[in-house]
């Protein structure tokens, strides 16, 4: 059975009478989560499973370009907030509004972030109903939300220090990376603190799927 079929069956097993079913899809860069999300949406909307499926990415919740610049300027020593990607660079409130609306609203516009703007720094496009608009009823059956940090929870300071002085230190040494590439302990603490804001997003999800890149062994 293919990964697509396994995931489909897992979703169908949980669908039951609940509408919509919120599905979180997490995976590191290069794991194929965006491709899998698109394939999953098409598969569930096929004639075999004629479901209404909404799929979007946490990438589309990035802060507008001006706010990303402001964040970096406010924390000039934090290398991890120079640009987008890390927790703290997303508009969590917008995400909460979108997910809430998909449960109750008659009309919902999905946000879009264009990574090509500002020489690759990117910007959120205006919410002017020119993007994908979800009309209800009929109600949405499945919402698929994908992203590399989807489902990440903050860890305790004890655990953070243990990893900083343990596996993170060993990996940095192996890769010859310094603070300019991976950030300081204070930077990681700030990002860990920001993850607390994301918990209200994760509370929507009924199903969690993790996509992993398999490294071949020779």
The domain ranges of the chain are 3-154+200-210
Is the separation of the CB atoms in 149 and 57 below 8 Å? Answer: no
Fold of 3-154+200-210: Rossmann fold (3.40.50)
**pLDDT recorded at residue 185:** 95
State the Cα–Cα distance between residues 60 and 95, nearest whole angstrom.
9
Is residue 145 within 8 Å of 56, Cβ to Cβ? Answer: yes
| pLDDT, tens digit, 9 for 90 and up, residues 6-15 | 999 999 999 9
Cβ-based neighbours of 79, under 8 Å, separated by 6 or more: 179, 180, 181, 182, 183, 184, 187
Q: What is the pLDDT of residue 80?
A: 93
Q: Which two tokens stand for residue 201?
A: 């997003």
Q: What is the pLDDT of residue 213?
A: 65
Rounded Cα distance, 6 and 49, in Å: 14
Please give the Cα distance from 91 to 98 (Å, whole number). Answer: 11
Strand (E) or helix (H) holding 168: helix 167-175
Nearest to 14 by CA among 205, 210, 211, 212: 205
Mean pLDDT for each consecutive 10-residue tract of the chain (218 residues)? Answer: 88 87 92 90 92 96 98 95 96 98 96 97 96 94 96 97 94 88 92 98 96 57
**pLDDT for res 218:** 38
pLDDT in tens, 25-77: 999 887 888 999 999 999 999 989 999 999 999 999 999 999 999 999 999 99
Beta-bridged to residue 114, according to DSSP, are 123
Interior angle at CA 202, CA 201 and CA 204, nearest 5: 80
Question: According to the model, what pLDDT value does residue 89 have?
Answer: 98
Spatial distance between the Cα atoms of 43 and 5, rounded to a whole number of angstroms: 9
């Amino acid at each position: 059975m293919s990964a697509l079929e396994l995931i489909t069956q897992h979703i169908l097993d949980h669908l039951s009478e609940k509408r919509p079913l919120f599905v979180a899809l997490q995976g590191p860069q290069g794991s194929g989560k965006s491709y899998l999300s698109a394939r999953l949406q098409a598969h569930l909307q096929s004639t075999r499973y004629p479901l209404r499926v909404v799929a979007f990415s946490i990438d589309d919740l990035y802060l507008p370009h001006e706010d990303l610049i402001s964040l970096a300027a406010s924390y000039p020593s934090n290398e991890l907030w120079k640009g987008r990607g890390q927790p703290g660079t997303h508009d969590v409130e917008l995400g909460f509004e979108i997910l809430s609306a998909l449960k109750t609203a008659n009309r919902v516009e999905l946000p879009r972030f264009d990574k090509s703007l500002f020489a690759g720094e990117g910007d959120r496009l205006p919410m002017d109903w020119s993007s994908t608009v979800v009309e209800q009823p009929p109600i949405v059956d499945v919402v698929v939300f994908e992203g590399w940090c989807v489902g990440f929870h903050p860890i305790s300071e004890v655990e953070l220090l243990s990893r900083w002085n343990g596996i993170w230190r060993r990996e940095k040494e192996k890769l010859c990376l310094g603070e300019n590439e991976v950030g300081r302990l204070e930077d990681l603490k700030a990002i860990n603190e920001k993850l607390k804001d994301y918990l209200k997003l994760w509370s929507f999800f009924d199903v969690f799927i993790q996509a992993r890149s398999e490294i071949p062994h020779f």
